[in-house]
Structure 1
Amino acid sequence: MRTTVMAWLTMPLFAASAMAIATASASAQTTGATGGAGSAAQAARQAAANKPRTIEGINTVWLEELTQPEFRDMIKDGYTTVLIMTGGVENNDGNLSMNKHNINNKLLGEMIARKMGKTLVAPLVTLEPGNAGPNIQPGRAGPMLSQATYTALLYDMGNYLRSMGFTEIYYLGDSGGNARGMQTAADSLTKVYADSPNKVSFKHVAEYYNHTSVVQPYLQNELKIPEGIKIGASSGTSGLHEELGIDATMALADPQSIRFAQRVKAGQAEINGIKFESLTWLQDLGRKVAVLRVTTTINAITAYRATLPKPQ
C-alpha cells in the first residue's frame, strides 16, 4: 500500500514539471507573436545580460559563487558539464557532525570538477530522503524529505540546469539512500529529452559512493591498516556508524567536524582499533582517500562518455 501511495505522490510532481515545461514553451511562443511592452522589457534585459564584463572573474567551480556574466562566459568557453552532489543530515553517532555527507561533497565536488576540467558544481543538495512519521523524537537527526519530494527536487534541478546550457549533468551521491532518487531523476529526464535536437546527458554515477567497495579494501589491503571493520560494513569494532576513511577525509576538510581536539582531550582519538597518530597523519590519509574516490568517479564518467554519440 505504501509503495502505491508513494507512486501516486510522485506522479503529480513529475506531471507538474512536464506541464511547466509545456506552459513555458507556449508562453514564449505567445510573447514572441504578440510583442508589446513585455517583449521590449525582455529584450532590454537580454541586451543587458549580453554586455561584456568590465571586471575580472574569480577562480571557482561553484555555480552559486559566479556572477551571471561570469557564468555566461564560462558556458561559451565550454563549461557545459555540471555535478549535482547529494548528501544529507543524519545520525553519525557521537563523534561526527550530522553534516558528514555534505562536508565530503564540498571537498570532493571541487576536486572532481577541477580534475575533469570545464566542469562546475551545482548548489549542494544537503538533505536526503526519509520519513518523519507521527511520533515526536526529541534530538532526532535530520531534517529529511519524502522520497517523492526528493526525486522531484532532483528532477527539477537537472531540468533547470539543462535550460541554463549544460549538456552533461551528473548526479553524485555520498549517501546510499540517495541512489534511488538520483537514478529515477536521471532516467526520467533522459526519456523526456530523448528526441530533443539539443542533446543532453543525464547520468547517475553510482561509482562515486564507494566507501565500502573501494575505500575499505584500499585501506586494509593496500595500505595494510588493520581497521576493525569488515569490508562492506558501515560499522566496526567501535560499534559506531563511523570508519577511518570517512574520518580522514572529514579531518582534511574540517578537523572540528570529527571533534578531533575534543577526542584527543578525552583520550578517544581512534576508530575501530586504529589510533590517530596525529592530525597531520589523519589528513595525509584523507588526501589519499580523496584522490582515490575522485579517480574512481572520473574513471566511471570517462567510461560513460565513451558510450555517447560523437558530435556530427
Structure 2
Amino acid sequence: MRSYATHDLEAGMIGRHGFILAGTVVAVWALSGLLSAASAANASVFLEDQTWTELRDLIGAGTTTIIVPIGGTEQNGPAMALGKHNVRVRFLAEKIAGQLGNALVAPVISYVPEGTIDPPAAHMRFPGTITISDKTFEQLLESAARSFKLHGFKTIVLIGDHGSYQADERLVADRLNAEWRKTPVRVFAALQYYQISQGAYVDKLLSAGATQPEIGTHAGLADTSLMLAIDPSMVRKDRLAAAPKLNAGDGVYGGDPARSSAEFGQLGVDLIVNGTTEAIREFTAKQQPR
C-alpha cells in the first residue's frame, strides 16, 4: 500500500513532467511560428523584403529578372486616393513576378513627370500631385537599371501604370540596350502593360455591359474599377454616385465612375497580368543564345 507521501511525490513528478511537456509544446509552437514567418519573408518577390545575402543567393540560383514598377502621385478625383498608381502597379507587379517564377519586384517609383509647375498644368492644378522633369525621370530609371546590372540581374523590366512617361520608358530601354549590346543584360520597356489597360480592358468592359461614356480616360469607371478590385480602401465609395455628378472640374476626365465595381476591375487585372507576363516571356526568349 502506497503512502500519502509516495502518492504526493508521484503527483508532483507528473505535474512537473506535464509542465515541462506543455512548455516544450509552447516552445515548438513558437519556433514553428518564427520559421513560418521567416519562410514567408523569403517567399516574397519584393526586393526590399530580402537581405543582401538572400538576394545574392536568389540571383545565383537563377532569379535574374527584376521588374521595376512605375506609378505616380497625382489627383484621381474626389473618390480615389492620390496613391492609386503606386498601389496598383505594386500589386500587379507582384502578380506578374509570381507567374514568371524567376523574377523579383523593385521598389515602386512614385515620383514621375506630371506636368509643369509654373504655370501649373494638367494634374498639377490639383493639390497632392507631384511632378519631376522627363530628364530627371529618365536619369532615375537609368541609375536603377545600372544598379540592377551591377548586382547580376539579366533582364530589367519597366512597367508603367501612367500614360505620361511611356515614351520615356522606351527611350531609356533603347539607350541602355545600345550601350549594353555586348553584354547579356537587356532592358525591356513592357509598354503592353499600359496598352492593355487602354485597349483590351476597355473592350472587355464594353462586352460586360459598361458604356463608353462611363469608362473614361482618368478616374472614370475603368480606372476606379481596377482600384476596387485591387484595394477598395483607396476608393471613397460614398462619393462615386453622390450628387453632383463628378466631371472634369473634379479631375474626372471623360467618364463616370458611379457604376464602378470590383467585378469590372478584375477583368482588367487578369488581362494586364496575363498579357504582361506573356510579353516578358517573349522578350526573354528572344535574348536566349541560339
TM-score between the two structures when normalised by the length of structure 2: 0.74
Q: 1: CA distance between counterparts of 2:259 and 2:118?
A: 41
1:86-101 matches, within 5 Å, as: 86-101=70-85
Q: 2: CA distance between counterparts of 1:293 and 1:167?
A: 23
Please give the per-residue CA displacement for 1:50-72, whole angstroms capped at 9, x wherever unaligned: xxxxx755221110111112111
Q: 2: CA distance between counterparts of 1:293 and 1:265?
A: 27
1:208 aligns with 2:193: yes
- 2:289 corresponds to: 310
Richer in helix (by share): 2
- 1:75 corresponds to: 59
CA RMSD of aligned residues (A): 2.6
- Bigger relative contact order (CA 8 A; separation at least 6): 2
- 2:175 corresponds to: 188
* CA positional deviation for 1:230: 7.9
Q: 1: CA distance between counterparts of 2:256 and 2:117?
A: 33
Q: 1: CA distance between counterparts of 2:70 and 2:257?
A: 30
* CA positional deviation for 1:211: 1.8
Q: 2: CA distance between counterparts of 1:295 and 1:158?
A: 24
- 1:257 corresponds to: 234
- 1:294 corresponds to: 273
Q: 2: CA distance between counterparts of 1:253 and 1:69?
A: 32
- Corresponding pairs, count: 240
1:4-153 matches, within 5 Å, as: 58-135=42-119, 139-153=126-140
1:218 is aligned with what amino acid?
A: K
1:247 aligns with 2:224: yes
Please say which structure displays the higher CA radius of gyration: 2
* CA positional deviation for 1:263: 2.8
1:162–1:105 CA distance, 2 compared to 1 (3 A): same
1:92–1:264 CA distance, 2 compared to 1 (3 A): closer
1:59 is aligned with what amino acid?
A: A
The answer (yes or no) to whether the contact 2:229–2:265 under 8 Å persists in 1 is yes
What SS is found at the alignment partner of 2:43?
A: coil
What SS is found at the alignment partner of 2:157?
A: strand
- 1:178 corresponds to: 165
TM-score between the two structures when normalised by the length of structure 1: 0.69
1:242 is aligned with what amino acid?
A: A
Please give the per-residue CA displacement for 1:77-98, whole angstroms capped at 9, x wherever unaligned: 2110010111111222221112
1:217 aligns with 2:203: yes
Q: 1: CA distance between counterparts of 2:95 and 2:146?
A: 24
The answer (yes or no) to whether the contact 2:205–2:264 under 8 Å persists in 1 is no
What SS is found at the alignment partner of 2:42?
A: coil
Structure 2 stretches of 5 or more lacking a match?
A: 1-37, 247-254
